[in-house]
Amino acid sequence: MDRPEDRLALIETFERDGRMARVRDVQAWPLSLGRGLFNHVVLDDPFVAERHARIAPDDEGRLLLTVLETSNGVEVDGRHHAAGASVPLPAAGATLQLGQTRLRLRLAGEVLLPEQPLPRPERSPLWLGLALYALSLAELAVGLDPGAETSTWLAGVLGVPAMLAAWCGAWALLSKLFQHRFDFMGHLRIALPWALALQVLDVLLPQTAAALGWPWLWQATTPLKALLGAAWLYAHLVHVLPQHRRAVTSAVLAMTLVGGGLSLNNTWRNHDSLSSTPYMSTLPLPALRLGGTTAPADLVADMARLAPPLAARAKKAKTADRDNGEENASDN
């Protein structure tokens, strides 16, 4: 049986998701690392050479890592070293990267951090869920006609919890795939604040724009919701892949830019403008009107300016219908 007093060092091998996979005692030097079965530490990694590296003390007793017959080299604490290099190792140990395998060499000079307190169990975000549910039902009640059928209410009453459960369940499955834990509550704690923020934004901004007479504020609602949605997606992805923040940031940024470009293109095709005309399915209360009133003459002048673009759109639509009719006739 191995005795702790015979341990010279410890080699820890990590999985690609950051979990520790194996721990090996080092009780004698030299220590060889590679893919060959004759090595002391055998690494099942196609990017590791048969004889990749060796760790041994020099004449003065300092540990040296020698990079052997490899074209990929070795990273020691983030610095790359090619074949043939001899690298002195710190007395506290070092982090090694061989191919796609990350190792940590722990030596007797390692200074351990103080014991950390156990994290307290997080409280369930019940009040956030209740606030989101209440706001969703209130918005549904305002939008429905008086005396609406029960089936119309049913979609709103059951839809929000069902969609939230499905959303968090899907992310929990990804956590199970990448982190080997079904973290439903962790993703629920992420989803509720973002979903509530989106709901509040969707309710308040159009009403505020109508009250103040600021159409640009209404037009800003969709871009702001898109940015909040991208930040929400980023929070879930970082929770699933905490070791790949840079890649996650790049992916979410690219998706946001591409999605924004496609949305602007679609809006331009439909409205000949980069923003659609402000529209609300329910009119705001007159008592909330804070932006003053508009003179009837100004309203008539604004409506008159709509005549040329409307005529141009009508002409364009007629031309498109005529071309489609001629094309269908030629096909027949």
Q: Which two tokens stand for residue 88?
A: 């002195």
153, exposed or middle or buried, with CB in 10 Å at 0-12, 13-18, 19+? middle
| Domain range 4-107, CATH architecture | Sandwich (2.60)
> In the chain, where are the structural domains located?
4-107, 128-144+151-271
Q: Which two tokens stand for residue 275?
A: 């923003």
Least confident window among 16-30, 79-93, 211-225, 289-303: 289-303
To the nearest whole percent, how much of the chain has pLDDT over 90? 29
Residue 127 has pLDDT above 60, yes or no: yes
Residues 233-249 pLDDT 10s = 999 999 998 878 899 99
Q: Which two tokens stand for residue 124?
A: 């369930």
> Bridge-partner residues for 33, per DSSP?
41, 53
* Amino acid 42: pLDDT: 92
Do the Cβ atoms of 102 and 121 come closer than 8 Å? no
> What is the pTM for the complete model shown?
0.62
Of 48, 56, 49, 53, the residue nearest 88 (C-alpha): 56
DSSP string, 158-226: HHHHHHHHHHHHHHHHHHHHHHSS--HHHHHHHHHHHHHHHHHHHHHHHHHHHHHT-HHHHHTHHHHHH
**Helix, strand, or coil (residue 147):** coil
* Amino acid 237: pLDDT: 93
Q: For residues 258 and 240, give the distance between their C-alpha atoms in angstroms, rounded to a whole number.
A: 23
Amino acid at 195: A
Q: Average pLDDT of the chain? A: 82
Q: For residues 50 and 43, give the distance between their C-alpha atoms in angstroms, rounded to a whole number.
A: 9
User: Residue 122: pLDDT band by 50, 70, 90 thresholds?
Assistant: low
* Amino acid 1: pLDDT: 46
User: How does DSSP classify residue 137?
Assistant: H
- Average the pLDDT over 102-108 and give the result: 89
* Amino acid 283: pLDDT: 62
> Bridge-partner residues for 107, per DSSP?
9
Q: For residues 200 and 132, give the distance between their C-alpha atoms in angstroms, rounded to a whole number.
A: 9
Residues 289-327 pLDDT 10s = 776 666 777 777 777 777 887 787 778 778 777 777 666
* Amino acid 4: pLDDT: 63
DSSP string, 224-279: HHHHHHHHHHHHHHHHH-GGGHHHHHHHHHHHHHHHHHHHHHHHHHHHSSSSPPP-
Residue 123 has pLDDT above 70, yes or no: no
Helix, strand, coil share of the chain (percent; to 5): 50, 15, 35
Q: Which two tokens stand for residue 317?
A: 């639509």
Of 48, 147, 50, the residue nearest 102 (C-alpha): 48
* Amino acid 72: pLDDT: 93
284, exposed or middle or buried, with CB in 10 Å at 0-12, 13-18, 19+? middle
Distances (CA, A) of 324 to 297, 329, 330: 41, 9, 10
Phi, psi (rounded to 5 degrees) for 227: -65, -40
* Amino acid 200: pLDDT: 87
Residue 286 has pLDDT above 70, yes or no: no
CB under 8 A, 24+ apart: contacts of 42-48: 43/13, 43/98, 43/99, 43/101, 45/98, 45/99, 45/100, 45/101, 46/99, 47/72, 47/99, 47/100, 48/72, 48/98, 48/99, 48/101
- Average the pLDDT over 5-25 and give the result: 79
Contacting residues for 307 by C-beta, under 8 A, at least 6 apart:
none
Residue 227 has pLDDT above 80, yes or no: yes
Do the Cβ atoms of 92 and 110 come closer than 8 Å? yes
User: Residue 171: pLDDT band by 50, 70, 90 thresholds?
Assistant: very high
Least confident window among 37-51, 125-139, 239-253: 125-139
